[in-house]
């Protein structure tokens, strides 16, 4: 796997990341279409994700939760707005309560996934994430910290321990 | 990873103690959610207490930790205590995009590992 490019644009509130995988497009599609494979990469090892619903079709929904080291659970939902196997998925990604219902007052992001076969073999995957407004983005700063902190959590235990005891 | 941590610590370059408080305050998922909710507007402590499976007193303690870290402000309105987040203490939007980049780089790594495994776990 090689990350080819990352583009961040504050005006359009987007982040686009492109990576190349040494596998055919049908195989790469499965990491999105098979919830058991999706679970293996969506959450960091310290916050594994579990998909309880996954209907990869236009208008279909997915529901997932991530469980942290202290048993804390964080719920999310997707709504697929466009699906064109094995090349394109558009979805909305938001926060949910513990019943899987979208949380009022927290913004959702849109994601565009495109898979492209490369002439020399392999597949390019591009993910474009868009925040709906700058207010939503400000709000997401806190939730972004959340995600970032989840990822960092495993490695900062010592630092946290000293911060707590000081 | 280091950078994420750094992003939080960089809020206060002057010394360790405020940074420690910010870091500690954000290490808890409930407190992070209170900060996120507080960015959308004011919430009373009792309103927050209804949103989390915990007592009014427990939420009040979380709010106090956030207040000491400068992440939320509290004001009295009659009998209510209203809480809102202080965006000045929070990261700017581009840091969110940086964090999103880190999250996705890690996801791409995991997808790469998954794809490198022998086909799909089906025994021959």
State the DSSP H helix or E strand holding residue B71, giving kind and residue range, or none if neither.
none
For B5, which residue in chain A has the nearest alpha carbon? A152
pTM confidence score = 0.61
Q: Has the ipTM of the complex gone over 0.95? A: no
Q: What is the mean pLDDT of residues B63-78?
A: 88
pLDDT, greater one: A36 or A146: A36
> Does residue A11 carry a pLDDT above 50?
yes
Q: Which residues contact B14 (CB under 8 A, 6 or more apart)?
A: none
Cis peptide before A56 (omega within 30 of 0): no
Specify the 3-state DSSP secondary structure of B118.
coil
Q: Which residues pair with A5 in a beta bridge?
A: A18
Structure tokens at A13: 């509130």
- Segment B9-20 shows an average pLDDT of 39
Of all residues in chain A, what percent carry a pLDDT higher than 70? Answer: 81
User: What is the rounded average pLDDT of the residues B81-92?
Assistant: 70
Domain ranges of chain A: 2-165
Instruction: Give the residue on B whose Cα is nearest the Cα of A23.
Output: B115
B2-116 belongs to CATH 1.20.1280.50: no
Least Cα separation, residue A87 to chain B (angstroms): 16
Q: How confident is the model at residue A146 (pLDDT cuts 50, 70, 90)?
A: low
What pLDDT score was predicted for residue A140? Answer: 65
Superfamily of domain A2-165: START domain (3.30.530.20)
Sequence ranges of the domains in chain B: 2-116
Per residue in A87-143, pLDDT (tens digit) is: 999 999 988 887 778 877 777 889 999 999 999 899 999 999 998 876 677 666 665
Of B99, B109, B120, which to mutate for an interface test with A (greatest number of A Cβ within 10 Å)?
A: B99
Beta carbons of A21 and B112 less than 8 Å apart: yes
pLDDT at A9: 79
């Amino acid at each position: 796997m090689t990350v080819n490019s990352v583009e961040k644009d504050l005006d359009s509130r987007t982040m686009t990341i492109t990576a190349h995988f040494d596998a055919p497009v049908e195989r790469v599609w499965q990491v999105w279409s098979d919830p058991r494979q999706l679970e293996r990469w969506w959450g960091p090892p310290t916050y594994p994700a579990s998909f309880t619903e996954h209907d990869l079709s236009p208008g279909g929904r997915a529901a997932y939760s991530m469980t942290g080291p202290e048993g804390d659970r964080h719920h999310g939902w997707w709504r697929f707005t466009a699906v064109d196997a094995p090349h394109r998925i558009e979805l909305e990604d938001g926060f949910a309560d513990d019943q899987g219902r979208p949380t009022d007052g927290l913004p959702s992001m849109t994601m565009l996934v495109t898979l492209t076969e490369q002439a020399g073999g392999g597949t390019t995957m591009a993910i474009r994430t868009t925040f709906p407004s700058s207010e939503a983005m400000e709000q997401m700063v806190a939730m972004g910290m959340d995600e970032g902190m989840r990822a960092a959590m495993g490695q900062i235990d010592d630092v946290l321990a000293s911060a707590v005891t000081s | 990873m280091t950078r994420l941590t750094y992003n939080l610590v960089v809020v206060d370059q002057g010394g360790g103690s405020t940074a420690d408080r910010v870091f500690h305050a954000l290490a808890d998922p409930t407190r992070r959610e209170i900060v996120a909710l507080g960015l959308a507007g004011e919430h009373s402590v009792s309103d927050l207490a209804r949103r989390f499976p915990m007592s009014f007193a427990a939420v009040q303690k979380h709010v106090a930790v956030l207040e000491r870290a400068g992440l939320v402000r509290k004001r009295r309105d009659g009998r209510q205590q209203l809480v809102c987040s202080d965006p000045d203490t929070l990261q700017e939007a581009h840091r969110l995009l940086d964090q999103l980049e880190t999250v996705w780089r890690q996801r791409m790594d995991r997808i790469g590992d998954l794809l490198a495994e022998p086909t799909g776990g089906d025994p021959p």
